[in-house]
Amino acid sequence: MRILVVEDARPLADVVAEGLRDQGMAVDLAYDGLSAAAKLDLTAYDVVVLDRDLPGLHGDTICQMTTEREDRPMVLMLTAAGSADDRVSGLTLGADDYLAKPFHFPELVLRVQALARRRPDVRPRTLRAAGVELDPLRRIAVRGGRRLDLSVKEFALLEALIRASPGFLSAERLLERVWDEHADPFTNTVAVTIGRLRRKLGGPPVITTTPGVGYRIG
């Protein structure tokens, strides 16, 4: 799951980003409206956590730009303007949800997860491929009746592969979906994590590698 957090209060933005990363999400940060617009042009996000009162470009403008995209992310407005009229105006602009500051972080996580599930191309809650079952909400992965003990990144990598099944995902695409914009494209992180995931899945092998193409489960 790829998330963009747009917040000009850097300490808050950094805390939100780290908290979402701890939940297995790949998170990018923008501290103003102009950098947010640039990132949205370059990357397909599942959810944008968007402050309204931004320098550069106002959050309302970013929200309108986002909702006009063909492959639009879901938008959660996160702002100190929390009156009923503020919520109505934010939702009228195209936001999918609205959370006022101060907020309870577990609620933010649940709202982000709920928005990601509501995207039109998202599959049902329980994902299945090659005899592996995965519940992203409860963070449970099972193969052959055996629950898998996966790290945050291993779980996110397995989720990305299952969502793409029966198609392939390149290492570059997996870096984009599971890590974030700071991931080194020349690193062997994907191969190492795939190796750990294969060992935990056990036999017979279900993740295949095609040189020059990528990885698939099936």
- Under DSSP, the state recorded for 169 is B
Shared-domain flag, residues 108 and 134: no
Q: What is the pLDDT of residue 175?
A: 87
Distances (CA, A) of 142 to 19, 25, 127: 25, 20, 11
C-alpha–C-alpha distance, residues 104 and 29, integer Å: 20
Shared-domain flag, residues 23 and 113: yes
Average pLDDT, 10 consecutive residues per value, the chain (218 residues)? 94 94 91 94 91 90 84 86 62 84 91 85 73 87 94 92 92 86 78 95 94 92
Q: What is the pLDDT of residue 87?
A: 65
Q: What is the pLDDT of residue 138?
A: 78
Shared-domain flag, residues 91 and 169: no
Q: What CATH number is given to the structural domain containing 163?
A: 1.10.10.10
C-alpha gyration radius of the chain: 18
Q: What is the pLDDT of residue 3?
A: 94
Q: What is the pLDDT of residue 1?
A: 82
Q: Is 51 left (phi over 0), alpha (psi -120 to 50) or beta?
A: beta
- Single out the residue of 151, 153, 195, 188 nearest to residue 171, CA to CA: 188
What are the start-end ranges of the E strands in 22-105? Answer: 26-30, 47-50, 74-79, 97-100
Q: What CATH number is given to the structural domain containing 64?
A: 3.40.50.2300
Long-range contacts of the stretch 183-192 (C-beta < 8 A, 24+)? 190/157, 190/215
Cβ(49)–Cβ(105) under 8 Å? no
Q: What is the pLDDT of residue 206?
A: 95
- Single out the residue of 15, 35, 13, 17 nearest to residue 26, CA to CA: 17
Q: What is the pLDDT of residue 143?
A: 95
- Under DSSP, the state recorded for 175 is H
Q: What is the pLDDT of residue 7?
A: 96
Shared-domain flag, residues 7 and 113: yes
Shared-domain flag, residues 103 and 6: yes
Cβ(160)–Cβ(134) under 8 Å? no
- Single out the residue of 114, 105, 130, 116 nearest to residue 72, CA to CA: 116
Whole-model pTM above 0.75?
A: no
Shared-domain flag, residues 37 and 62: yes
Shared-domain flag, residues 110 and 131: no
Shared-domain flag, residues 108 and 209: no
Shared-domain flag, residues 17 and 40: yes
Q: What is the pLDDT of residue 177?
A: 83
Shared-domain flag, residues 104 and 169: no
Domain boundary among 64, 97, 118: 118
C-alpha–C-alpha distance, residues 104 and 84, integer Å: 19
Domain hosting residue 105, numbered range: 2-118
C-alpha–C-alpha distance, residues 78 and 172, integer Å: 31
Q: What is the pLDDT of residue 86?
A: 64
Shared-domain flag, residues 85 and 161: no
C-alpha–C-alpha distance, residues 65 and 43, integer Å: 14
Q: What is the pLDDT of residue 181?
A: 73
Residues 6+ apart with CB under 8 A from 205: 198
Shared-domain flag, residues 147 and 109: no
